[in-house]
Amino acid sequence: MKRLSVRFEGRVQQVGFRFFAESASTNFNITGWIKNLDDGDVLLEIQGDEKELFNFTNKLIKGNGYSKVTYHEIREIPMVKNEKKFKMIY
């Protein structure tokens, strides 16, 4: 188990990117959250098995047909205990 922080840059706001992530998360055994940042980027924190995290992150990088990730930065961060689901933060 790991927890990652992933920052996405590019066309990732006002294109359904967070909704795409929330919907896609149901196909993966992960927890965490996603939110828009004031600078136009999107920040994601996800927790789970390393393979699940890798596959979920790659799905988001490929996008929903409207989004375009031009850069992403991944950092490993401390795990969060008792987190139950993946959610969108407003």
Catalytic residues: 18, 36
Token representation of residue 62: 């490929």
Token representation of residue 14: 């006002």
Instruction: Give the whole-angstrom CA distance, residue 52 versus residue 49.
Output: 5
Name the amino acid, one letter, at 81.
K
